[in-house]
Amino acid sequence: MAEYKGMAQPSRAGEKDMRKIHMEPIPDELKPEKALEYLDEYRKKFRSFVMAMESCTKCGQCAENCHTYLGTRDPNNIPTNRAELIRKIYRRYFTLEGRWFGNLVGAEDISLDVIEQWYSYFWQCSECRRCAHVCPFGIDTCEVTMAGRQILHWLGITPKLHADVGGAMEKVGNHTGLPKPGIIDTLEFMAEECMDEFGIDIEFPVDKPDADIMYVPSSADFLLNPYTLMGAGMFFKYIGANWTIPSTVTEAGNFGLLFDQRYTQRHNVMRLLNAAQNLNVKKIVWGECGHGWRAAKMYVPSLADRPIRWDITHLHDEVAYLINTNQLKLDPSKNSKPTTLHDPCNYVRACGLNDNMRTCIKASVANYVEMSPNGADNFCCGGGSGILFDDKEMYQKRIELSWKKAEQVRATGIGKDGNGILCAPCSICKAQLYPMVEEHDLGVEVKGLIDLVGMALDFK
Amino acid sequence: MKLLIGQILPFITITIFVLGVFYRLGRWVGARIVHNVTLSDPWLKSGGEVAVKIGTEAFLFRSLFKFDKALWAGAFIMHFALLNVLGGHVVGFGLLGEQFAYIPGITAEMSKDASNLLGTVFGIVLFLSIAYLLIRRFSISEVKSISNSSDVVWLVYLLLIVGVGNIMRLFHQFHIEYEPVRDYIVALFTLQPVVGMELLESYFFLTHFLLVQILLIVFPFSKLMHLFGMFAERWIVNRVYHDPAPGMPNIDIPAARKAGLGLPSGGGGESASEGV
Ligand code: HEM
Ligand code: SF4
Ligand code: SF4
């Protein structure tokens, strides 16, 4: 079912899929009362959620600042209205105001319809946090989306895409289901490609014991974004690093952040820490993945089950540091096509990667054009939080959700001769933008940032 | 009735207001900041930067200014006028309009005139700016779609309070002097026999006073708590954060480049290799 009473919805994981990720679905007739029970638990725990429920003045500032509303013009995609889908229930059951004044203050009884509304609209939000950035109070509707998705998950309602990804991660250590032999084959093939195309001789050490650096790539780089992996490989070769890729965590992403922070996300954190301990590495360096970087940088400290012995940095941080200290020779003329940067939301609003990304790209390309707005003000690509659904209704939504991004890219003018480069250094952004630049006919090719750095490195 | 509104209700009002505010703050404190959801727009590196960020948001409405000038104008003027009107109530009644006489060269007479003028101006500005926000609530379709009835009720209610207050100021025949009000308040809250009950003979004063008390009673349970909510929310999303230091262990780039690593003739090696 991809629609419920006219609302688009992603297709759901079946009972078997849910059990694989350790959830026992709740029968429909029990869902409303269980939803209240879970909501009550959630609100007693998370202040970020409580404040989003209790301090909005309905000023409306967030409306024109959310790409989902700009793309769909659906009032339920206005951030405060999205939050209101839970807030109306929250008020009715958990506030005096709502119990006394009911409808006057917008309180409403729980029902299956409301739960289905949650499923539709919390899965159109990309958890990009632009609403928090613009709200006069800093109200973070992403926190409400996270609450909504967690409750839905506990009820047994999760998109099939996300549930499958969670299951694959648990089974093989990455989202694409690629087992270790496949990883090794792919990496060998990429090393050959790198030699053929750039004349650079690299290798990808897997599970190398006592490596200094554990590099965690996005699994999408093995299949969809090979130049990102090659770029990283060239960079590590250039600096002569003693590095390795852990076969148990060939995944920078952590979909637990997006649908189940209690079990799935936590479990992935343990997996990461175990890998670092087993390989006895000194530092963890993260690959290009926006939500995954947020999960690693900001959530590992609060989810880890032991003291953390490793600094975790992002590859862009490390490259920028070496550029700033004049240790890399980069030749921007190797990337001469007009290039713009799409700022992944998690990088700029949750991880502070704004300046370092610019340091990297400006040193690596000859013809750089800023998009407007950019940095922390940037708009999401429309795929944020992995809403990369392929069913007909949701794919149509994805085109709408990327409308603002398309307008921004068009305004830079880089695609007018059909040879622009849209640098989008995040696997979800890439997966969203590959088809979307075609849908919107933008005349650009999508690339990662390390791709460009790798190609600009001057090995001579 | 007047006894109730003038001598009993004020104590009930204050009790509910104070306990209510503590009840709400307690609810907020009871839930924790579980994960670090600081906004990096950009990172704030010290307590001073946090204070500047929260301060400019709270007192200048910085984000509104940046993203929506029309809303900023209405909201800022409304709150600025409100702040002055509230402050004016305290110092105006407290010092009988002679507050400016503390400035050298200003006489008590001049101070009273200034106090009157400021009070009148801010009263009118406040009324107009609330009216502007009310019109905005209906005329902008997005704002209309996010409004609950209570959002409109609040604005109308404030218009009533401010409107009645303005009438007492602007129309001579309904005017109320500072002094009896001060004496009334002082007597009330020092638990002395209440004086100045004749103030409540004025239906405008009675209405104004009653409406304000109802506002204060409902305040802790309403959206007006954003006065405190604003700081509680920013306390979550605007915190100090320091990135871990960059720099990778055991790398020697000059040596690597000298050895020609990566160049086919140089120190290349096997391709994907599994560790031993
Ligand atoms: C530090 C103190 C305060 C701050 C920072 C603050 C900030 C804000 C902001 C940013 C808005 C949204 C913009 C708007 O819709 O106008 C707002 C709305 C509002 N504020 Fe405040 N406020 C404060 C205190 C108060 C107080 C004490 C009142 C008491 C009556 C009040 C009444 C309102 C009302 C009624 C609205 C809604 C306006 C509308 O419906 O458009 N505020 N406030
Ligand atoms: S910007 Fe903030 S306060 Fe204004 S309506 Fe949106 S969430 Fe509410
Ligand atoms: S997090 Fe992004 S997509 Fe979600 S409501 Fe906020 S602005 Fe819209």
* pLDDT digit string, tens, across residues A165-213: 999 999 999 999 999 999 999 999 999 999 999 999 999 999 999 999 9
Domain boundary among A133, A158, A183: A158
Average pLDDT, chain B: 93
Judgement on whether residues A217 and A95 belong to the same structural domain of the protein: no
For ligand 3, say whether the CB of A284 is within 6 Å of any of its atoms.
no
Q: Is residue A12 part of a domain?
A: no
Residue to test with chain B: of A44, A50, A82, A358, most B Cβ within 10 A? A50
Nearest to A55 among B68, B226, B248 (CB): B226
Ligand 1: residues within 6 Å at CB?
Answer: A 57, 59, 136; B 58, 61, 64, 75, 78-79, 133, 137, 151, 154-155, 158, 224, 226-227, 230
- Measured distance CA(A426)–CA(A448) in Å, rounded: 7
How far apart (Å, rounded) are the C-alpha atoms in residues B275 and B9? 80
Q: How many domains does one find in chain A?
A: 3
Same domain flag for A313 and A210:
yes
Is some CB atom of chain B closer than 8 A to the CB atom of A179? no
Could you tell me the two tokens for A133? 């950035």
Above 90 in pLDDT, residue B3? no
Q: Over 50: is that where the pLDDT of A351 sits? A: yes
Give me ligand 1 centre to Cα B223, in Å: 9
Nearest to B227 by CA among A97, A65, A136, A86: A136
Which residues share a beta bridge with A447?
A: A423
Asked if residue A420 and residue A339 are part of one domain, the reply reads yes
Cross-chain CB nearest to A136 (options B64, B238, B266): B64
Contact in structure between A3 and A393 (CB atoms under 8 Å)? yes
User: Which 3 state secondary structure label does DSSP give A115?
Assistant: helix
Q: How far apart are CA A190 and CA A234, in angstroms?
A: 11
Mean predicted lDDT score pLDDT of chain A:
97
| Mean pLDDT across A350-354 | 97
Architecture of domain B2-31+58-240: Up-down Bundle (1.20)
- pLDDT of B19 > 80? The answer is yes
Q: What is the pLDDT of residue B194?
A: 82
Give, for A444, the enclosing helix (H) or strand (E).
strand A444-447
Task: Give residue B267's pLDDT.
Answer: 47
CA–CA distance, B260 with A238 (Å, rounded to integer): 8
- What tens digit of pLDDT does each residue of B108-161 get? 999 999 999 999 999 999 999 999 999 999 999 999 999 999 999 999 999 999
Say if residue B42 is preceded by a cis peptide, omega within 30 of 0: yes
Distance CA A13, CA A25 (A): 10
Given the CA of residue A380, which atom of ligand 3 is nearest to it? Answer: 2
pLDDT-derived band at B268, boundaries 50, 70, 90: very low
Output the residue whose Cα is nearest ligand 3's atom 8. Answer: A66
Q: Can you give the CATH number for the domain in which A420 is found?
A: 3.40.50
Q: Is residue A5 part of a domain?
A: no
Residues of A in contact with B226 (CB under 8 A): 55-57, 137
Mean pLDDT of A2-13: 92
Q: Pairing between strand A368-369 and A243-244? A: unpaired
Which spans in A240-283 are helix H?
A: 256-259, 264-279
**Chains A, B: CB contacts under 8 A, how many?**
277
List strand residue ranges (DSSP E) for B103-242, in order: none
For residue range B62-104, list pLDDT tens digits in order.
Answer: 999 999 999 999 999 999 999 999 999 999 998 988 889 999 9
Q: Give the residue extent of every domain in chain B.
A: 2-31+58-240
The answer to whether A240 contacts B36, with C-beta atoms less than 8 Å apart, is no
Helix then strand then coil, in percent of chain A rounded to 5, is 55, 10, 35
Does the beta carbon of A135 sit less than 6 angstroms from any atom of ligand 2? yes
Q: Which residues contact A63 (CB under 8 A, 6 or more apart)?
A: A69, A78, A79, A80, B142, B143, B146
A135 lies in a domain?
Answer: yes
The rounded distance, in Å, linking the Cα atoms of B272 and B276 is 13
Identify whether residues A251 and A373 lie together within a single domain. no
* Percent of chain B at pLDDT exceeding 90: 78
Domain that holds residue A49: 17-158
The answer as to whether A163 is a domain residue is: no
Are the CB atoms for A245 and A204 separated by under 8 Å? yes
Picking from A47, A42, A226, the residue whose alpha carbon sits closest to that of residue A140 is A47
Rounded distance between C-alpha atoms, residue A66 and residue A135, angstroms: 11
**pLDDT tens digits, one per residue of B150-205:** 999 999 999 999 999 999 999 988 988 888 999 999 999 888 888 888 888 899 99
Q: Which of A123, A158, A193 is the last residue of a domain?
A: A158
Q: What is the largest CA-CA distance in chain B?
A: 103
User: How far from chain centre, in Å, is Cα A167?
Assistant: 18
SS3 of residue A441 by DSSP: coil
Q: Does one domain contain both A338 and A452?
A: yes
Residue A96 within a domain: yes
Tokens of A146: 């996270």
- A232 in a structural domain: yes
Q: Phi and psi for A411 in degrees, rounded to 5?
A: -65, -20
B32 to chain A: which residues are within 8 Å by CB?
Answer: 45-47
Report ipTM for this prediction. Answer: 0.94
Q: What is the mean pLDDT of residues A257-269?
A: 97
Find out whether A176 and A220 touch, Cβ atoms under 8 Å.
yes
Rounded CA-CA distance B174/B34 in Å is 55
| pTM assigned to the model | 0.95
Token couple for A134: 């613009």
Are residues A367 and A400 located together in one domain of the fold? yes
A421 belongs to a structural domain: yes
Section A416-426 average pLDDT:
97
pLDDT tens digit string along A247-262? 999 999 999 999 999 9
Position B273 pLDDT exceeds 90: no
pLDDT at B271 over 70: no
Residue B259 has phi, psi (to 5 degrees) of -75, -10
CA of B72 to the centre of ligand 2 (A): 13
Pick the last residue of a domain from A98, A127, A158: A158
Q: What share of chain A in percent tops pLDDT 90?
A: 99
Does residue A11 form part of some domain? no
Listed residue (A378, A330, A336, A372) closest to A354, CA to CA: A378
Residues in chain A, total: 460
A337 and A318 belong to one structural domain: no
A375 with A284, same domain: the answer is no
For ligand 3, mutation pick of A62, A133, A142 (most atoms within 8 Å of CB):
A142
pLDDT the model gives residue A1: 52
Phi, psi of A21 (to 5 degrees): -105, 25
Q: In angstroms, rounded to a whole number, what is the distance separating the alpha carbons of residues A452 and A458?
A: 12
What CATH code is carried by the domain that includes residue A40? 1.10.1060
Distances (CA, A) of B105 to B100, B109, B111, B112: 10, 11, 10, 14
Query: Which residue from B31, B151, B234 is facing A58, i.e. has the nearest CB?
Result: B151
Q: Is the pLDDT of residue B270 over 60?
A: no
Q: How confident is the model at residue B2 (pLDDT cuts 50, 70, 90)?
A: confident
- Please say if the pLDDT value at position B274 is more than 60: no
- pLDDT of B266 higher than 80: no
The yes-or-no verdict on residue A32 having pLDDT over 60 is yes
Contacts B63 to A, Cβ<8 Å = 61, 133-136
CA-based radius of gyration for chain A: 22
pLDDT at A230 over 60: yes
Closest CA to A367 of A396, A405, A341: A341
Eight-class DSSP state of A349: I
